Amino acid sequence: MRSANDIRVWLQTTTGVVVVLLLVQFLTGVLLAFYYVPSVDHAYTTVSYIEKVVSSGSWIRSLHHYGSQWLTVFVFIHVIRLFWDRAYAANRIQWIAAILILGLVMAAGGTGYSLPWDARAFFSTRVAEGLMAGLPLAGQMARLWLLGGSEISGVTLSRFFALHVLVIPAVIGGVVVWRMFRTQIAELFGPRDAIVATLVFLVLALWALKYPAPFGPSVAEAGADYLPRPGAQFLWLYQSLKYIPGGLGSIVGVVLPGIVLAILVALPWLKRQRLIAGSLLGLGVVLVVIMTTVSYFSDRRDPRTAQQFARQAAAEEAWRRQPFNPATITLATTTTNVTGGAPVMYTKYCANCHGTQGQGAQQGPLKFPPLLNVSAKPRRSVDDIVSLLKDPTAYGLQPPMRSFSEKLTEEQMREIAEWIVKLRQD
Amino acid sequence: MNIDTSRRSFLKFLPLAAVFASIGGAAFRFLRPKLSAVTDAWLDVASVSELSGPQPISRKIVAEQITGWAITTEEHNVFVLPAKNNQVVSAICPHEGCEVAWEQNRNRFSCPCHESYFAADGSRISGPAQRGLDPLPARVQDGKLQVQYISKEQATRA
C-alpha cells in the first residue's frame, strides 16, 4: 500500500499552497493599489492603464484575478483534507482558522469583483445588492449599508474598496497569525509542501502570463446584449440563482453559506462531528460541482449565448489592441485659452498615439506615425482628413486607427483637421 | 550537517523565493515612474494692448500635461513685466519651487516658504534662491502675448 500512502502524504501539502497563494494575493494587491483609483470616474481608466501601459501590469492583475479563484479552490481542498484528518477534534485552531479563511476569501473575491468598475463589476455589484435586499427582516437595511445610500454610486465603490483592501486582508492576516502562534506545527514548509507550493505558484504564474484577467467594456459602452459571468468561484451561486425564485436567492447565496460556516466553526464543540461536517461538506461539494458544471455546459450548448461570448471575447481582444485612452482632469477655474496648441479633442483622442504636437509616439511594441508635414502628402487636405477620421480604411489605414464618427462631431473633426494641416517639421 | 538536511532547509525557502523573485522582479518594472509628456504649445497670457505700466502684472496660463493615466489641465501663475519689454517670468521660485507673490507696497516679489526676494524685474535680491525668476519662452502672435510653460521640475533644476 505504499502508493496510497504516498498520495495521502502529498495531500497534506495544502497548507503551504494556501500560504503561498495568500502571499501572492497580498503582494499583487499592494502593487495594484499603486495605480488603482477607487472612484467611479477613474477606476476603469486606471485599470486600463495597468493593463495597457504599466510594465508587467497585465500579468500582475491576472495573477491577482486568477489567484483569487485558485485560492478559493485550495482553501476548500484544505478544509476537505482537514475534515479527512479529523482536525476539528485534533487541532481545533487549525480547523476554525481554515473555515474562517474560506469565508473571508469568498468575501474578498466578492468585494474585489466590483473594483474595476467595468460592465462585469457593475452586474456583480447589482447581484450583491439584490442578495442583500432579499435577506429576511433586515434586507433593506443591509442593502443600504452595503451601498452606502439608496443607489449604487461612488460611495458603494469606496465601501467595496475599503472592505477589499483594508478590512478583509487585516482579518485574514489576524487569523493567519493567530493560527501560526497557536498550532504546534513549527514547520510550515516541509520538503513536500515546498515542492507542491512552488509548483502551484509556477503554474499560476504561467497561466496568468498566457491569460490576462478579463476586463469588460465600460458600463456606458456595454450594449443591452452584454452577458456578464462571475469568476469561477461564484459560478455555483450564479447558476443556483437561475433556479431559485426571487427573494429565496438571498437565503441560498448568503444565509445558508453563513449558517454552514458557523456550524463548521463550532464543530469542535459539537457531537456527531463526522456526520455533521461530512454531510455539510458533501452537500457543498455536490452543489458546487454540479452547478459549476451545469453553468459551464449551458453557456456552451446554446449557440446564441456562445456567439455572444465570442463577440465579447473579440471586443475585449480589440480593446487590448487599441492604445490607452487617458482621462481628462481639469484643475483650472478659468476656461482654456490655448492657441497654437492642439484642439482639446485632439488631445483627448489623438495625442496619445500621434503625440501632443503630432510628433508621433510609441507604446510598447506599437509605433504610431507622426503627423508633421502630413499636408504635403497626397489626399491629406482638410476635407480629406475629416473623411479619413470617419472612415480610415477608405484611406488605406490599418487598425488601431479607427473611425471617430461616433466619438467626434463634424465640427470637432474639422477643427482637428485644420490644426493638423498646419503642423510642420522645423 | 548531512546532505539531506541541507537540501531540506533549501527546499523550505523555495516557494517563498519563487514568489518574491518573480513578483519582486515584476514589481520593479511595475512601479517604475513614467515621465510626463510636456506640452510645448503656445499659451495665451494677455493682449499686448492691455499691458503697460511699471508694475509686474499677475496672469494665469492654462497648460495641459499628460501625467500617468490622465491629461491634466492646470493653471499656473506667471508675471508679465511691461517695464522689461513684456518679458514673462514664472511664479515658481527657483529655490524649492514654491510660488512667489508680488508685494505692491514693498515693490518686490517674495517667496512665502524660505524668504527669497526678487526685484520688480525678476532679479534676485536676497534669500536662499541662487538666481532670479525664470523667464518663459515668449512670442507675440496676432496681438497676443504667448508663452510656453516650464514645469516646476525644469524650473528648479540648477
Residue A228 predicted with pLDDT over 90 = no
pLDDT of residue A337: 47
Whether residue B38 is contained in a domain is answered as no
Whether residue B19 is contained in a domain is answered as yes
**Chain B: nearest CA to A424, how far in angstroms?**
14
Give the β-pairing of B70-81 and A327-330. parallel
Distance CA B12, CA A304 (A): 51
Backbone angles phi, psi at B44, to 5 degrees: -65, 135
Is residue A56 very low, low, confident or very high in pLDDT (cuts 50, 70, 90)?
very high
pLDDT of residue A425: 67
Average pLDDT over residues A253-270: 92
Are both B20 and B69 inside the same structural domain? Answer: no
H-helix or E-strand spanning residue A208: helix A191-210
Of the partner residues A53, A201, A336, the one whose CB lies closest to the CB of residue B18? A201
Are both B19 and B95 inside the same structural domain? Answer: no
Residue A281 predicted with pLDDT over 80 = yes
Are both B27 and B52 inside the same structural domain? Answer: no
Are both B80 and B148 inside the same structural domain? Answer: yes
Backbone angles phi, psi at A330, to 5 degrees: -110, 115
Most trustworthy range by pLDDT among A31-45, A316-330, B49-63: A31-45
Distance CA B110, CA B125 (A): 10
User: CATH number of the domain that B131 lies in?
Assistant: 2.102.10.10
Higher pLDDT, A190 or A48: A48
Summarised one tens digit per residue, pLDDT across range A172-186 is: 999 988 887 766 544
DSSP assigned state of B92: B
- Cell reading at A376: 504635403
pLDDT of residue A52: 92
Residue A59 predicted with pLDDT over 90 = yes
Most trustworthy range by pLDDT among A142-151, A267-276, A342-351, A353-362: A267-276
A2-320 and A344-420, same CATH topology:
no
Are both B77 and B146 inside the same structural domain? Answer: yes
Higher pLDDT, A105 or B69: A105
pLDDT of residue A70: 96
Of the partner residues A16, A341, A348, the one whose CB lies closest to the CB of residue B42? A341
pLDDT of residue A231: 87
- Cell reading at A380: 491629406
Q: Which of A268-282, B41-55, B131-145 has the lowest mean pLDDT?
A: B41-55
Distance CA A270, CA A196 (A): 33
H-helix or E-strand spanning residue B73: strand B70-81
Are both B69 and B9 inside the same structural domain? Answer: no
Average pLDDT over residues B15-37: 86
Q: Do B75 and A333 touch (CB under 8 A)?
A: yes
DSSP per-residue letters across A127-155: HHHHHHHTSTTTHHHHHHHHHTSSS--HH
Q: Considering chain A, what percentage of its residues have pLDDT values greater than 70?
A: 94
With beta carbons under 8 A apart, name residues in chain B contacting A46. Answer: 69
Closest chain B CA to residue A201: B19
pLDDT of residue B156: 57
Boundaries of every domain in chain A = 2-320, 344-420
Average pLDDT over residues B115-134: 92
Closest chain A CA to residue B27: A31
Q: CB–CB of A327/A45 below 8 Å?
A: yes
Of the partner residues B8, B16, B29, the one whose CB lies closest to the CB of residue A191? B8
Are both B117 and B76 inside the same structural domain? Answer: yes
With beta carbons under 8 A apart, name residues in chain B contacting A193. Answer: 15
Residue A347 predicted with pLDDT over 80 = no
Task: Provide CATH code, domain A344-420.
Answer: 1.10.760.10
Q: Do A341 and B26 touch (CB under 8 A)?
A: no
Q: Across-strand partners of B67?
A: B70
Residue B91: domain span: 43-155
Q: CB–CB of B117/B109 below 8 Å?
A: yes
Distance CA A33, CA B136 (A): 37
Most trustworthy range by pLDDT among A133-137, A161-165, A315-319: A161-165
Distance CA A368, CA A321 (A): 13
Helix (H, G, I), strand (E, B) or coil at A330: strand
pLDDT of residue B158: 47
Of the partner residues A329, A331, A340, the one whose CB lies closest to the CB of residue B75? A331
Q: Would you tell me how many other CB atoms lie within 10 Å of the CB of residue A137? A: 7
Rounded (10°) angle between helices A14-33 and A168-182: 150
**Chain A: nearest CA to B155, how far in angstroms?**
21
Q: CB–CB of A121/A98 below 8 Å?
A: no
- Cell reading at A278: 461530512
Query: Which residue out of B50, B64, B151 would a mutagenesis test of the A interface target, given it has the greatest number of A Cβ atoms within 10 Å?
Result: B64
Three-state SS string across B22-70, please? HHHHHHHHHHCCCCCECCCCCEEEEEHHHCCCCCCEEEEEEEEEEECCE
Are both B96 and B134 inside the same structural domain? Answer: yes
User: In 3D, which of B55, B52, B74 has the Cα closest to residue B63?
Assistant: B74
Distance CA B90, CA B59 (A): 10
Q: Would you tell me how many other CB atoms lie within 10 Å of the CB of residue A163? A: 18
Q: What is the ipTM of this complex?
A: 0.72
Q: CB–CB of B88/B138 below 8 Å?
A: yes
Q: Which fold has domain A2-320?
A: Cytochrome Bc1 Complex; Chain C (1.20.810)
Is residue A336 very low, low, confident or very high in pLDDT (cuts 50, 70, 90)?
very low
User: In 3D, which of A230, A226, A378 has the Cα closest to residue A312?
Assistant: A226
With beta carbons under 8 A apart, name residues in chain A contacting B26. Answer: 31, 55-56, 59-60
Q: Do B11 and A191 touch (CB under 8 A)?
A: yes
Are both B13 and B64 inside the same structural domain? Answer: no
pLDDT of residue B38: 61
pLDDT of residue A1: 46
User: In 3D, which of A138, A109, A136, A135 has the Cα closest to residue A124?
Assistant: A109
With beta carbons under 8 A apart, name residues in chain B contacting A197. Answer: 14-15
Of the partner residues A202, A332, A356, the one whose CB lies closest to the CB of residue B39? A356
Query: Which residue out of B10, B12, B23, B149 would a mutagenesis test of the A interface target, given it has the greatest number of A Cβ atoms within 10 Å?
Result: B23
Whether residue B103 is contained in a domain is answered as yes
Q: Do B75 and A42 touch (CB under 8 A)?
A: no
Are both B95 and B138 inside the same structural domain? Answer: yes
Whether residue B4 is contained in a domain is answered as yes
Higher pLDDT, A10 or A313: A313
Of the partner residues B15, B19, B64, the one whose CB lies closest to the CB of residue A347? B64
Summarised one tens digit per residue, pLDDT across range A125-157 is: 888 888 888 888 888 888 998 888 888 888 899
Q: Do A20 and B14 touch (CB under 8 A)?
A: no
With beta carbons under 8 A apart, name residues in chain B contacting A74. Answer: none
Q: Which of A163-172, A283-292, A339-348 has the lowest mean pLDDT?
A: A339-348
With beta carbons under 8 A apart, name residues in chain B contacting A48. Answer: 69
Residue A335 predicted with pLDDT over 60 = no
Whether residue B37 is contained in a domain is answered as no
Whether residue B27 is contained in a domain is answered as yes
pLDDT of residue A426: 56
pLDDT of residue A28: 97
Most trustworthy range by pLDDT among A31-45, A332-346, B56-70: A31-45
Most trustworthy range by pLDDT among A5-14, A412-421, B121-130: B121-130
Residue A247 predicted with pLDDT over 80 = no
Whether residue B138 is contained in a domain is answered as yes
Average pLDDT over residues B12-32: 88
Distance CA A195, CA B14 (A): 8
In b/e form, how buried is each residue of B121-157, taking b as 16+ CB within 10 angstroms?
Answer: ebebeebebeebbbbbebeeeeebbbbbbbbeeebbe
Q: What rounded mean pLDDT belongs to chain A?
A: 86
Is residue B40 very low, low, confident or very high in pLDDT (cuts 50, 70, 90)?
confident
Cα diameter, chain A: 88
Q: Would you tell me how many other CB atoms lie within 10 Å of the CB of residue A123? A: 20
Q: How far is CA A212 from CA A215, B74, B148, in A?
A: 9, 35, 41
How many separate domains does chain B show? Answer: 2
Q: Do B64 and A197 touch (CB under 8 A)?
A: no
Cβ-in-10-Å burial (0-12, 13-18, 19+) of A43 comes to buried
- The CA angle A308-A311-A312, to the nearest 5 degrees, is 90
Whether residue B59 is contained in a domain is answered as yes
Helix (H, G, I), strand (E, B) or coil at B117: strand
Distance CA A95, CA A75 (A): 11
With beta carbons under 8 A apart, name residues in chain A contacting B47. Answer: none
Residue A201 predicted with pLDDT over 90 = yes
Average pLDDT over residues B27-52: 82
H-helix or E-strand spanning residue B147: strand B144-147
DSSP assigned state of A377: S
Distance CA B128, CA B96 (A): 9
Distance CA A117, CA A215 (A): 9
Q: Do A356 and B60 touch (CB under 8 A)?
A: no
H helix intervals, A211-350: 235-243, 248-250, 256-266, 273-301, 303-321, 344-349
Distance CA A3, CA A5 (A): 5
**Chain B: nearest CA to A336, how far in angstroms?**
6
